[in-house]
Structure 1
Amino acid sequence: MTRCFTLRTPLNPERRFYRCLKPKIENCGFWRWEDSSPRNSFIEINLLKSKLEVAMLKMENLRESFNAVKIERDNLKKKWRI
C-alpha cells in the first residue's frame, strides 16, 4: 500500500512522490516520484547503485564473519575430540 506525499524542500518544492506506508523497519522500500523525468531517473539509478554497493559490502563482511565462525567451530571440534 502506498501513499502520495508532497515535498516542501528548496531542492524539490511541491514535488510529489509515493512510498510504502509501513513503518521503516517493515516497509518494502517502494518509493517513486510522481513525475519521472530523465534527470530524476539518473539520480534514482545512482542511488540504487550506491545501495547495491553497500549491500555487497555487507554481504562480504557477513561471508568473512561466517568463515571465521566456521574456523572457530572446526578448532573447537578438534579440541574436544582429544
Structure 2
Amino acid sequence: MPPSEHYRMGLNNLLQRRYGAGAANHLRWESFRTGTDHFPTWTFIAYVDGFEYGRGCGRDQGTAKEVAAEGTLSQLRRQWGHLF
C-alpha cells in the first residue's frame, strides 16, 4: 500500500464498518487550489454526514487529501471508538 493512501484507506474502512455498503454516501470531499500554476497549494476538506471533520493542505492533491483524511480518521476514531 502506498503511504499516500494509508489514511484514506483507513477512513474508508472505518466508514464501511459504520455504514456498510452505503459508506460512500456519507463522505464528501471539497477541494480548491491557490497559488500559481507552477507553485500551487491544494486544500482538501472532508465532510462526514455534512460536518467538516478534516482539512489538509499540500503541494499536490494526494498529499492534501491524505492530510485531511488523517485528521478525519483521528476525530472519528475518538468519536465512534465505543462502537467498535
Normalised by the length of structure 1, the TM-score is 0.29
Greater Rg, structure 1 or structure 2? 1
State the TM-score, normalizing by the size of structure 2: 0.28
